[in-house]
Every structure is written in C-alpha cells, then in structure tokens.
Amino acid sequence: MEAHSSEVFVIGLTVFFLACIIGYYVVWSVTPALHSPLMGVTNAISSVIIVGAILAAGPFGHDTSKIFGIIGVVLASINIFGGFIVTYRMLSMFKKKPKKDKKD
Amino acid sequence: MSANMVAVLYLISALMFIFALRGLSHPESSRLGNIFGIVGMIIAIITTLMFKSVLSYVEIGAAIIIGGAIGTFIALRIEMTALPQLVAAFHSLVGIAAVFVAAAAFYDPESFGIGKIGLIGTSSLIEMSIGTFIGAITFSGSVLAFGKLQGTVSGKPIVFKFQHTINALILVLIIALIIIFVINQSPSIFWTIVIVSILLGFLVVIPIGGADMPVVVSMLNSYSGWAACGIGFTLSNNLLIITGALVGASGAILSYIMSKGMNRSIISVVLGGFGGEQALSAAGDNSDKIVKQGNAEDAAYIMKNADSVIIVPGYGMAVAQAQHALREMGDILKKEGINVRYAIHPVAGRMPGHMNVLLAEANVPYEEVLELDEINHDFPMTEVSFVIGANDVTNPAAKTDETSPIFGMPILDVEKSQTVLFVKRSMATGYSGVDNELFYRDNTTMLFGDAKKMCEDIVKSLA
C-alpha cells in the first residue's frame, strides 16, 4: 500500500480547505453564550487523533512505536471523556426561564 | 473491512462532528449536538479497531479505560470557575498526543503505510514534523497557560529584552531542523525539533498577561486543531484533516472575537506585555477626586426602588464565586417586579463564554443573559447598573481618552444608566492598569468588599 503519492496529498488539501470553510460558517453560527461549551466540544473532537494512536498501538511487536501509541491512546482518552463530560455538564446548566418561579 | 467502508464510516464520523458544532447555535439543540459528537467519536474508534493491523485489543482497551477514567474523574470534579485552566490542560494533552502519534509514525512507518524506517517519503516527513512542531508548541503553551490561570505561575506578563528576536531565531532554527530531518531522517533531529518547539511554546505564552488569557486559550484551541490536521496529512486520514480543520477554524474565530472585544490585534496580544509599564503613567492622577461610598443597605434600597437593573459581571465574580448569591439577589428583585437582566462583555472572564457558564450554573435563565450589542442601547433607559467584578469593560475612557491603552475597546455603557453600583474589593485598577473615571462620577456608588459577601448582605437587606 504505497498511499503517499502527491495525488493523495492534493486530495487531503482539498478536504482540508473545504473543511476550513465549513468550520468557518458553522462556528460563526454558534451563539456567543455557548463559546465555552464550544471549546469543550472542540477539545473532545480534536482528540480524534486517537485514531492514529490506535493504529500505532495495534500491531503485535514494533516496540517503540507501540509504546508511543498506547501513551497516545491514554492521553487522547482523557481528553475525549473529559471534554464530552465537561461539555455535557456545561450544557445541562443552560436552562430556559421556568414558567413558574420555582424555589430551590 | 474494505478501504471504502472505512472511508465511508470516517465520513459519517466527520459529519457527526460538524453537526456537533452546528448544534451549539442554540442552547436547546446543543445537548443533541454533544451527543452527535460522542456518536461520531465512537464510530471513529470502532472503525479503527476493525483494521486488520490492529490486534492488541487488551492493551488498547486498557489504555482507553485508564484514560477515560482519569478524564471522567477530572471532568466530574472540576468547579465551573476553574473551567479555563481545565480547558488549557486538555489542550496540552491534545498537543502531546499529537507528538506521540507523529513519533509512532516515524518509528514504525509501515503500520501507517508511509514507507519503511529511514525511507519515509519527503511529504510525509514534512507533514510529520509540522504536526510535531505544532503539537509540541500547543503542549508547552497550554501547560504555561494552565499555570497562569491556576495561579501556580504569576499571571503577570514576563517581558525581557530581545524577546521577539529570540522567538524569531528559534523559529528559523526549527525550520532548519525540519529541513535536516527531511534529509537524514535521524531520530535525534526529530527529538530536537520536539524539545525546541516545546521551548518556543513557553516563550510565546510567557509575555501574555492574565486578562489576555481568553485570546491565548482560544489560540491554543486553534493550534490543537492544526496539530491534528498535521497528523491527518501524515497518515492521509481525511477524518483527522476535517476534524482538525474544524477545531482550528473554531479556535481562530474565537481568538478573533476575543481580540476584537479588546480592540487589539491578535498580533499585539501574541507579542504580549500588555499592562506593563505604559499602565503606570496612565494611573495615579485621580488621588484627589472624591469617591462616593455605599454599603449593602444603600444598594438594596436603590435597587428595590428601581424599575430596571442590569447586572454586569466580570472575572471578579468568578474569583469570589459570587454567582449563586448574585442570582439570589436577582431573584428577589424580580419578585419585586423589577426587570433584571445580565450584560456580558465578550472578554469578561478568562475564556470565551466564561460568564455565561457561571450564570447558567447559578440557574440564571439564558434568556436574561444578553451580549454587548444586544443590551448596550438599553443602558440609557435603565435605572441601576450593578457592576460586579468587572472594571475595564465599563471604562468610558475607552471611548473618550485617546491616550488610554484601552482606547477603542467596545465597552458596556453603564455610565448612561441613572445609577451605577460598583462592587469592588478596593480602588485598584483593572488588568489594563488604567484608572476608571466612572468611580468618581456623581451617579456612581462604590460598594467595597468581597463580591460574594456583598451580594449576600444585599440579599439580607432586601429581605
């Protein structure tokens, strides 16, 4: 599998620029009140880098690379779980005005 | 699983991430958005686990469980006021994880289909070193930002001679190292790139002061995305490229919004040193002016007899953990039939949207919390502005005094309301080091004391 020709790079570049444009429009539509949860969620999804770490940790043997991969999986997992949970906590606090004044 | 199947599943995962961000356009849809994000991540991980080359399920499973347990524990325990440092800490993990993945690809290129040891393609090497470089900067920059936000490192900007020259030289050095690395593919050069980039990350964040942190945290957010992108190019993985670009764009836009909220260019924030020497000259000439002081009873009396109150929270509210007491005060006023609303400046707090989260935590309905441009024209019709823990974002000098370091910064026009109540610990200046002329105006009453204690006392007086 010789995947890294210049053709592959150009496809990657195409995907990259289109994704930047999607990101630009999607992020501008985020309401400023939710900018903190936005950071939480982007933090979690940027840890999709775990995909690379799993590939490195996957094969039997290959010692150095495998250790790096496993460390990568641990670090990315901290972020994935931490990021989504903290975002969930933030978002569950944003509540509508209650119809009746409830006491707590 | 066929390569096409993998590509399709990765595409679904990427779409889920886009929907996750899209959901944040409204609080109602945001929770669903978060679930999309989780589903996207699960699809990505399971798809990768199905690869033929992935065999070590036990080790990978254990690593996910260990990391997941740590992440869950931290995320459940963290106080909402400590969010900015948590986010900084998480960014550092993305950065260092990117370095480890790049290192793994370098030591075992065959697993990633990018060549053999010592015979990796040039473009892969370039992408790998860029990913490593950005990842390492994200790591050390975030660690330092974490320290500054947590208070373990002084939040003051640390400026020294030739700072920018040194940074520029280090950047040139890194580019040179990357070129050497591409030619000789030596592990020692790879690790030198890592170490020098880590050093650069520290140097980039060192001169940036505490209140510029919203910009820095957003910028590091952006970097963590670009690091993921770099790795995505290395591995020719579209999912990583798309997600990295989304995160990178998000962080970049947030940095732009934050620096615009301070009327400063991103470049001037990055160059740092704000609130240093120039601040001293601006302050200090108001010592003879008279400040009107009040106490909790006065404040309670004034607000009770008003029709409308706008509350302006700032970082001081977060430090004092005053949000719950503040909401209690707001509730009592609302019961009296007073129109109570909250005005949020874009750079209030230490990260984008920081105040919104704290008010939401205290059960303030989000409809009552308004952004600067939504509420600013209402101040002239408002009887009382209640400023709590904010300072520079209300300083009229930003509009009138061209010599002021904060001139041109958009501010909340609290001075246009009939009465301004200013909760503050002392007469100390804000982060910019600029004196606030609002303190000396006839319609301003200063309420000196701890923000939380003050709110509690006002609540007692109102009852």
- Pairwise CA distance, residues B238 & B248, whole Å: 15
Confidence check: pLDDT of A104 > 70: no
Per the annotation, the verdict on B212 as an active-site residue is no
Confidence check: pLDDT of A80 > 60: yes
ipTM value, please give it: 0.90
Token pair 């910009």 in the structure block, residue: B215
Lowest mean pLDDT among A38-52, A53-67, B74-88, B151-165: B151-165
Flag if B253 and A29 touch (Cβ within 8 Å).
no
Which residues of A fall within a CB distance of 8 Å from B48? 50-51, 54-55
Flag if B365 and A66 touch (Cβ within 8 Å).
no
Distances in Å between the Cα of B171 and the Cα atoms of A46, B138, B168, B183, B227 are 25, 15, 5, 19, 17
Confidence check: pLDDT of B428 > 80: no
H/E stretch holding B312: strand B308-313
pLDDT tier, B270 (very low <50, low <70, confident <90, very high otherwise):
low
Which one, of B378, B278, B275, B361, lies nearest residue B318 by Cα? B361
Residue in B18, B41, B53 closest to A48 by CB = B41
pLDDT tier, A102 (very low <50, low <70, confident <90, very high otherwise):
very low
Which phi and psi angles does B422 have, rounded to 5°? Answer: -120, 105
Per-residue pLDDT, B432: 62
Mean pLDDT confidence for B154-167: 79
Pair B87, A40: CB distance under 8 Å = yes
Average pLDDT of every residue of chain B: 87
Flag if B235 and A54 touch (Cβ within 8 Å).
no
pLDDT tier, B277 (very low <50, low <70, confident <90, very high otherwise):
very low
Which residues of A fall within a CB distance of 8 Å from B231? 49, 52
- Pairwise CA distance, residues B70 & B85, whole Å: 16
Residue in B97, B101, B352 closest to A36 by CB = B352
Confidence check: pLDDT of A28 > 90: yes
pLDDT tier, B429 (very low <50, low <70, confident <90, very high otherwise):
low
In this complex, is the C-beta atom of A7 within 8 Å of any C-beta atom belonging to chain B?
Answer: no
Flag if B48 and A44 touch (Cβ within 8 Å).
no
Per-residue pLDDT, B279: 41
| DSSP class of A17 | H
CA distance A84 to chain B (A): 7
Which phi and psi angles does B55 have, rounded to 5°? Answer: -120, -25
Which residues of A fall within a CB distance of 8 Å from B245? 16-17, 19-20, 22-23
* DSSP structure string for B21-55: HHHTTSHHHHHHHHHHHHHHHHHHHHHHHTSTT--
**In 10 A of CB B262, how many CB atoms?**
25
> Angle at CA B79, nearest 5°, toward A29 and B73?
95
Per-residue pLDDT, B75: 95
Per the residue annotation, which of B298, B331, B392, B435 is the catalytic one? B392
- Per-range mean pLDDT, top range of A51-55, B150-154, B413-417: A51-55
Confidence check: pLDDT of B6 > 80: yes
In this complex, is the C-beta atom of A52 within 8 Å of any C-beta atom belonging to chain B?
Answer: yes
Pair A103, B36: CB distance under 8 Å = no
Per-residue pLDDT, A68: 93
Flag if B25 and A29 touch (Cβ within 8 Å).
yes
Confidence check: pLDDT of A2 > 50: no
Lowest mean pLDDT among A6-15, B66-75, B111-120, B361-370: B111-120
**Could you tell me what percent of chain B has a pLDDT over 90?**
49
Confidence check: pLDDT of B79 > 60: yes
Flag if A30 and B24 touch (Cβ within 8 Å).
yes
In this complex, is the C-beta atom of B410 within 8 Å of any C-beta atom belonging to chain A?
Answer: no
Distances in Å between the Cα of B258 and the Cα atoms of A32, B113, B215, B219, B353 are 11, 41, 6, 10, 10
Pair B217, B250: CB distance under 8 Å = no
Coil, helix or strand at residue B341 = strand
- Pairwise CA distance, residues B39 & B256, whole Å: 30
Lowest mean pLDDT among A62-76, B78-92, B112-126: B112-126
Pair B240, B232: CB distance under 8 Å = yes
pLDDT tens-digit series, residues A54-65: 999 988 876 888
- Read off the pTM: 0.88
pLDDT tens-digit series, residues B375-388: 999 999 999 999 99
Residue B259 tokens, joined? 């620096």
pLDDT tens-digit series, residues B281-324: 444 455 567 788 888 888 888 898 888 999 999 888 988 889 99
